[in-house]
Structure 1
């Protein structure tokens, strides 16, 4: 009987919600924008176009199609019929991420998903909490501090190449084996994050098995790749669940929730142990030791809580090592397809070495290697590691557009008024292929575009390089 009553209440809540959404949509400017029809496979608009994005074969299959058809701003339907504003326009992105960044917070679904995965660190925080955490963490990621890690990075790279020579190439009878670089690079960056971040030795390159390493195995494949349509709808309801109750969704008995819960519980336990060890050191050079010293020197009102400090370690581990490993993997994949780029990179490195008379390069040398930097940027442009950012309007807004779009009625508009609570999808992959920014060859590989740009075009940057502003990645120099 209680189950039947609960289902009846849930059904009534959904009907009330859909009625509210319908009435709200009738007067929404978003309804005037062009966009794809809902192609949900389950009850029409229950999941909207969310499945088009979540279940596409390749990232960008749908977004690039929509961008080319509708322009740099379009409307799409989300779960439960909620309209989303999709953006790939540079002026709109500047406004949402930079100019009024704190007026566009991450939505309830996004923040809860982050909290369930990596705790209450800087990626989860917003507004004054984000400002406070970033202020405390900044000394650990300053340019002088990051430069001190260069010998560690070089040693890790040398160790990796030596491992390839000894354990892969020498054991292959042809001398030309196929190397699974993503696995090796992930192990390398985990070792680097461990030593530079926490003065901890993971030993991944030495094939040492650790409990934390096992927690990383297939984490996102098990927890977030191709979610069920039921989960898409359920998460869309999170915005209506009070925050204290929302905390308990992590205990749901489904595979993805169990997987995230296991990872978070272990990483928080691991992080607390690292913090205790770091507190005992007074002269540690690793990131967490510097962060802890900065935190104790702050006014107690402005300092981070113990949970927030612990959260930073989980943030660094998850956001810092696989993102870099994947970026480098795409970089190597691209230059493997373009041997002329390999040749020019090698020539640039050789020229710097000959000029210095030594093999190792300094930070300033790396900064001056313009062609290598251009190739890396072009690789990130075509293969962004984070392909979509999700925000929500914290108040009624009018978002400006650099490139006017055509409405359903044929009018040209250069701004989009939206209501408070409107979900916003920032399509990084679409922005990085926008012809108005990158030219008619936006879909083609051309690193020289970053060398040949006119002075007026020097601000053209691919994501994630362009993702600066209030919530820019604090570890970008480190990466």
Structure 2
């Protein structure tokens, strides 16, 4: 067969596959499906729209908990928040639902938890689980206060002469990075002073640019990378990236390079200190109690079968940083924004914090006191319920999978469906937001922020649903083998920051500046009418 014939055959076969996808019938076709959806984007342009909150809510309210979507180039996808289906995806059959973005994560962050799968992922979690134990979390609390008190002192200097409008998203981002830097990596990046921002480490600059660059690469990540990521040698692939002049790709290359070199430096310094021992360890940031130091010690003691390679250790550095930074900073920012609009809740929480400080005789609560403040805990849980930092998680089926439902879904032919066969290669979007706000479970006020619901007692429908989430009947931190390993760390950090800030400061909305929260890779705040930048201006003043 001549080359022209081969090319013609290849093009014909590709067209045939596309037409079969677009017009062929399959088991998903009986599920309810919203109208519209172009051939090129399907419904994905609306699902991934940064202003897609109303669309997601309308999908759930109109079409139920298992919905067929039209994907790009005629593919078929699912939008799911049914409890039993979620349990099957995350707990019963996780090996049959592949996590998307694994290849991209490996190329940018290295062989960390977010990029690996199968036995390699299980081995990494086995090594990391003890690092996030309660005993280790107790060691984190003093570090959290050391960092957050630097922020408090800087803000105090800004508002001593009266209320000031301050971009709290900016300061929460810097604080979150320094918190994971010191407690996670045993390294400092930011003095958290007014002028330290102008001298930021290249690593810090890369971390801050990552989310925006990630979003700009959305199409390439979804539809180009899966086909080209393993072509040729690593050297050839690097040459291709260096040759292409597309801005977002080059930005991501530079970010990945800085992360790699910085990870090398951090791990190398830890190893040198451990080799010297004694004061070389205790004089480091984190005093040898940071997550990375503990991980390195545990790894040295592990068997050959369990021990992480150097590449895997380096991968954990960037993974820990990104997993802990934007999610926590935006969660704390969201709490401050909510409290600025709910003065009674803000005052009630401040009173609880100050009473706890009075009881302990200082402004640093211990681990047990910090996790036992009932209204603080309720505020954090309710904020994570209603506002998960990542509203959806994508999965792709590795083979044909029978997906069961907890309640019947009325098919297009009028039949009652209790399960559906999901073909191999189907994208499945698990809606954490819709699950957390499911009115069948949480009641008619499910989309209202009510911290008191956690104190009054959850409805039996929530408890009986047996959701697979690892955190308080919520899907915010996912569930099963790939659940967020650091969710307790995140909660503890969040509570420490809020205790320090609310004890000293009041927060109010900035006049004339309406805030919108964008549904990007991580939900972020922007000022309506301003272009691009993440900002959360609030009026900050001293609390009486």
1:46 aligns with 2:40: yes
Q: 1:315 aligns to what?
A: 319
Q: What TM-score, normalized to structure 1?
A: 0.88
Q: Could you tell me how far apart the structure 2 residues matched to 1:476 and 1:217 are?
A: 21
Greater strand share, structure number: 2
The 2-side partners of 1:187 and 1:56 are apart by 23
The answer to whether the Cα contact below 8 Å between 2:147 and 2:179 also exists between their aligned partners in 1 is: yes
Task: Confirm or deny: 8 A CA contact 2:410 2:416 kept in the other structure.
Answer: yes
Q: TM-score, normalised by structure 2?
A: 0.78
Name the CA distance, whole Å, in 2 between partners of 1:156 and 1:94.
38
| 1:70 is aligned to 2:74 | no
2:489 aligned with 1:478 = yes
Tell me the alpha carbon deviations over residues 143-176 of structure 1, each in whole angstroms, 9 at most, x when there is no partner.
101210101111222221211111x2136xxx11
- How many residues get paired? 459
Residue of structure 1 aligned with 2:72, choices 68, 79, 87: 79
Tell me the equivalent position of 1:29.
Answer: 27
Q: Does 1:399 align with 2:410?
A: no
Say whether 1:428 aligns with 2:432: yes
Could you say if the C-alpha distance between residues 164 and 46 of structure 1 is closer, same or farther in structure 2, counting changes exceeding 3 Å?
same
User: Which residue of the partner structure matches residue 385 of structure 1?
Assistant: 389
Whole-angstrom CA distance in 2 between matches of 1:157 and 1:9: 64
Once residues 211 and 72 of structure 2 are traced to their aligned partners in structure 1, the CA distance between those partners, rounded to angstroms, is 22
Partner of 1:17: 17
Selected match of 2:480 from 463, 469, 475: 469
Quote the Cα distance in structure 2 between the aligned partners of 1:436 and 1:145: 38
Q: Aligned pair 1:131/2:122, yes or no?
A: yes
- Please list the CA deviations of residues 419-472 of structure 1 after superposition, one character each: whole Å capped at 9, or x if unmatched: 222211011122222111211011112111222225744577464555232111
CA distance in 2, matches of 1:121, 1:160: 30
Query: Partner of 1:262 in structure 2?
Result: 254
3-state SS of paired residue (1:359): coil
Aligned: 1:161 with 2:152: yes
1:145 aligns with 136
SS of the residue 1:467 aligns to: strand
By how many angstroms is 1:356 displaced? 3.2
**Matched position secondary structure for 1:421:** coil
Partner of 1:201: 188
Q: 1:446 to 1:131 in 2, by over 3 A?
A: same
Q: CA RMSD in A?
A: 2.6
The gaps in structure 1 that reach 5 residues or longer are none
* 3-state SS, counterpart of residue 218 of structure 1: helix
Whether contact under 8 Å (1:386, 1:464) holds in the other structure is no
CA distance in 2, matches of 1:7, 1:170: 73
Inter-partner Cα distance in structure 1 for 2:10 and 2:266:
44
Q: Please give the secondary structure, in 2, of the residue aligned with 1:217.
A: helix
Deviation of 1:235 after TM superposition, in Å, equals 2.9
**What does the per-residue CA deviation read over 1:71-129, in whole Å, with 9 as the maximum and x for residues that have no partner?**
0110001111111111011221122112222321113xx22222233222101111111
The answer to whether the aligner puts 1:177 opposite 2:164 as a matched pair is yes
Give yes or no for contact 1:118–1:311 (8 Å, CA) kept in 2: yes
Look up the SS of the partner of 2:430 in the other structure: strand
Does the 8 Å CA contact 2:30/2:411 hold for their aligned counterparts? yes
Displacement of 1:55 after TM fit? 2.8
Aligned counterpart, 1:437: 441
Counterpart for residue 187 of structure 1: 174
Q: CA deviation at 1:237?
A: 5.2
Contact persistence 1:54–1:226 (CA under 8 A): no
Aligned-partner SS, 2:409 = strand
Question: CA separation of 1:340/1:34 partners in 2, compared to 1, >3 Å: closer, same or farther?
Answer: same
Q: Does the 8 Å contact 2:111/2:315 carry over to 1?
A: yes
Aligned CA distance change for structure 1 residues 13 and 68 (closer, same or farther; 3 Å)? same
Structure 2 portions without partners, runs of 5+? 275-280, 282-287, 491-544
CA distance in structure 1 between the aligned counterparts of 2:382 and 2:484, rounded to whole angstroms: 19
In structure 2, how many angstroms separate the alpha carbons of the residues matched to 1:424 and 1:476?
A: 24
State how far apart, in whole Å, the 2-side matches of 1:292 and 1:428 are.
Answer: 34
**Deviation of 1:315 (Å):** 0.5
Label 1:407 to 1:20 Cα distance change in 2 as closer, same or farther (>3 A): same
Cα separation, 1, equivalents of 2:411 and 2:110: 41
The answer to whether the aligner puts 1:370 opposite 2:374 as a matched pair is yes
In the alignment, which residue of structure 1 is the partner of 2:81?
88
8 Å Cα contact 1:381/1:462 also seen in 2: no
Do 2:217 and 2:249's aligned partners in 1 also have CA atoms closer than 8 Å? no
Q: 1:237 to 1:359 in 2, by over 3 A?
A: closer
Identify which range, 62-71 or 211-220, moves more after superposition: 211-220
Q: Indicate if the aligned counterparts of 2:477 and 2:484 stay in contact, CA closer than 8 A.
A: no
Determine helix, strand or coil for the equivalent of 1:410.
coil
> Residue 272 of structure 1: which of 240, 264, 267 is its match?
264
